[in-house]
Structure 1
Amino acid sequence: MVQIGDLKLSDFPLLLAPMEEVSDPPFRAICKTYGADLMYTEFISSEGLTRNANKSLKKLTIYEQERPIGIQIFGEKIEVMREAAAIVEQAQPTLLDINYGCPVKQVACRGAGAGILLDLPKMQAMAAEIVKQVSIPVTVKTRLGWDHHSIKIVEVVQRLQDVGIQAVSIHGRTRQQMYKGIADWSYIAAVKAHPGIHIPIFGNGDIDTPLKAIAYKEKYGVDGIMIGRATIGYPWIFREIKHYYATGTLLPPPTLVERVATIQQHLSHAIQWKGMQTAMLEMRRHYSNYFKGIPYIKPYRAQLVEASSYAALCDVLEEIAALPITQMVAN
């Protein structure tokens, strides 16, 4: 069993990573259905929260059926982050997560996200203030460092643990790498193996199959795995990893009928959350991912994107579900 504060998870929990414009309530509902043990919201700007920006405040919405769930915030100003943490706690998430890993220029180059890894004393001071501000567990998602020459991830985790951070998820790349190259989990293993570190450590980066998930667990000793990009269009990965971990056998990929049913569920949640027009527009970016690798599907993807009404969209989905395609492929 893995424990974060009072939260008790399985002995090998699978976490849904916070992803901007992806891990909203409709997508989280789908991932929960297929076995995500702990999920995070999209990251939320601390400045947006303290200024009552509608976009930021809307991201605070969570549902009882999503629990356990964490709300993630980012920012470069300690006082603003502390104030934002107080606002987050009012939304009653299971835990609060601090983003020390976002690599995008407009975040990191302002000293937020992965940018704070260039100033470890400030990173530690910010975490300490947030821990003192709230009564719920506080966790952190981070990267190995700013670049290969500044990797101090063991020290980072020690500093965070010292001020009360109760779990850390580590993406095995530096900020300089962005999402290129191969995630280096050897640094994550060094954190987990350090005798002075006792909080749960979750690994993140490049996990896209059940075999890789279990191989990395055994090789690097992590307490659990956080999965991001591999879940986009393939939420079944949670189910498949859990099945392989429990039985040593692989589940077959989801059928075309199941893929269509999942899209319909995702769309239904999105309509409830965003309204018909916005849901129809924003779901367009998901169709190619849900049908990735499926033969003969390209013309239908275009029809899904171009569908002018909900009824027309449903007609296309029904046509796809009826296609005589029996050989499915994994993501």
Structure 2
Amino acid sequence: MTKALRTPFSSDLQQKIDTLKERQKKIMLGSVEFNSPLLLAPMSAISIAPFRLLMEELGAGGTVSELISCHGINYQNEKTHQMLTIDPREEHIGIQLFGEDPEAMARAALVAQERNPKFIDINMGCPVRKVVTKGGGSALLKETQKLANFFSTMKKDLSIPLTVKIRTGWDEENINAKEVVHIAKEEGLEFVAIHGRTRTQQYKGHANWNILESVACEAELPIIGNGDLHEAHEVRDRMGQTNCQALMLGRGPLRNPFIFLESYLTADDTINFGPKDYFEVITRLYDYLSQYTDRERTLLVQMRKHIVWMAQGFPGVANFRGQIFQTPDLGDTMKFTEDYFMGLDHRTSKSIDHSEAFMTSGHG
């Protein structure tokens, strides 16, 4: 992923990006620096190097990789090691690992460290059955008495910071985020990211920001709040009142890749991002994915899902979505995409019903 870009952003789009990125301020979370307090969340099969790099260009202050199996790393699985890829142009990237055995996690962390991430992150938030039933992800929230050893075992040989992402608890009767944060502080972790749902909620219902704010208010470590930040105005409002030192966005950037930038808009701004801008972003993602893999099937699958997500909310998207999923050829897919986005009026804005379910079956 170091080839020259085939299609740079237009001067108009680049100027809008630069104007809004100038309003961002670098932050330190423990010893880890980020370009802003708005970070991209780890998402399975989504937060790979091409998408992370794109989001950094579009204002994400930092990113975290998709969850990666410690056992896959230790067993020298080729696909798993591909997931460890970091593009040299990524500035603030953490690699997230999952697993139930602290020794196996420690060995995998040393391998991941060789890829030069800024930090290693422990996944204690994934609610997906195949992860939890093996004792990883949010299952680790159930036995907090084991966490001190888990954290210390992973940290002892690392030369870069160790962090963790958790949920508020296993279920409503077992909200223990404050306890986990305290243990993390005692064992020398740098910060804790907290998704505002319990494991039993999966991705349904609503994130409980009252719990997140309560934890952040009393925490001995920097807290990153995560959950239901789907629109720029929600991010902007939360930034203005939160006790969290940073916010993490997951599903929001999938439908609006400009959400990190739009969170810095003011009432006096006339900046807006239209269909042409979206198509430029899609083209840039295609460039990055083409540098990441030469498998056309992988490219097609990745591009399809991102194109459909970014198109959501624009007029005529239902027919366009049907056309995309009936097109087996990558070249035709990109041509249909260009025709759709460039055929919309440049002043067209999106209209998304955020009360409707979106990716509630799990993503990391």
- Structure 2 unaligned spans of 5+: 1-25, 353-364
| 2:209 aligned residue | 185
Pair 1:294-2:308 in alignment: no
Pair 1:8-2:28 in alignment: no
TM-score norm. by structure 2 comes to 0.84
Contact 1:188 1:220 survives alignment (8 Å)? no
Q: Which one of 243, 251, 257 corresponds to residue 276 of structure 2?
A: 257
Deviations 1:112-161 (A, max 9, x none): 11001110021221111111120101111000110011111111100111
What does residue range 51-200 of structure 1 map to in structure 2 within 5 Å?
51-194=75-218, 197-200=219-222
Pair 1:47-2:47 in alignment: no
1:187 Cα shift?
1.5
| 1:315 aligned residue | 335
Pair 1:237-2:237 in alignment: no
State the structure with bigger RCO (CA 8 A, min sep 6), 1 or 2: 2
Q: Which one of 281, 287, 297 corresponds to residue 268 of structure 1?
A: 287
212-221 vs 124-133, which deviates more?
212-221
| 1:220 aligned residue | 242
| 1:210 aligned residue | 232
Going from structure 1 to structure 2, the CA distance change for 1:144 and 1:322 (only over 3 Å counts) comes to closer
**Structure 2 CA distance, aligned partners of 1:318 and 1:223?**
39
**Structure 1 CA distance, aligned partners of 2:251 and 2:340?**
25
**Structure 1 CA distance, aligned partners of 2:109 and 2:241?**
36
- Structure 1 unaligned spans of 5+: none
1:304 Cα shift?
2.8
**Structure 2 CA distance, aligned partners of 1:150 and 1:321?**
47
**Structure 1 CA distance, aligned partners of 2:267 and 2:90?**
28
CA RMSD of aligned residues (A): 1.9
Contact 2:110 2:158 survives alignment (8 Å)? yes
Deviations 1:208-227 (A, max 9, x none): 12221232234431111000
Deviations 1:249-304 (A, max 9, x none): 56665211111111111122112212233201332122221111111233333333
Pair 1:327-2:348 in alignment: yes
1:310 Cα shift?
3.8
Which one-letter code corresponds to 1:328 in the other structure? S
**Secondary structure at 1:283's aligned position in 2?**
helix
**Structure 2 CA distance, aligned partners of 1:104 and 1:185?**
22
1:5 Cα shift?
4.5
Which one-letter code corresponds to 1:299 in the other structure? N
| 2:17 aligned residue | none
**Secondary structure at 1:166's aligned position in 2?**
coil
Which one-letter code corresponds to 2:279 in the other structure? V
Q: Which one of 48, 68, 73 corresponds to residue 24 of structure 1?
A: 48
How many residues align? The count is: 325
Contact 1:186 1:220 survives alignment (8 Å)? no
| 2:325 aligned residue | 305
1:248 Cα shift?
5.1
TM-score norm. by structure 1 comes to 0.92
Identity of aligned residues (%): 31
**Secondary structure at 1:66's aligned position in 2?**
coil
Contact 1:68 1:94 survives alignment (8 Å)? yes
**Structure 1 CA distance, aligned partners of 2:280 and 2:233?**
26
| 2:301 aligned residue | 281
Please state which structure has a larger fraction of its residues in helix. Answer: 1
**Secondary structure at 1:64's aligned position in 2?**
coil
**Structure 1 CA distance, aligned partners of 2:60 and 2:28?**
16
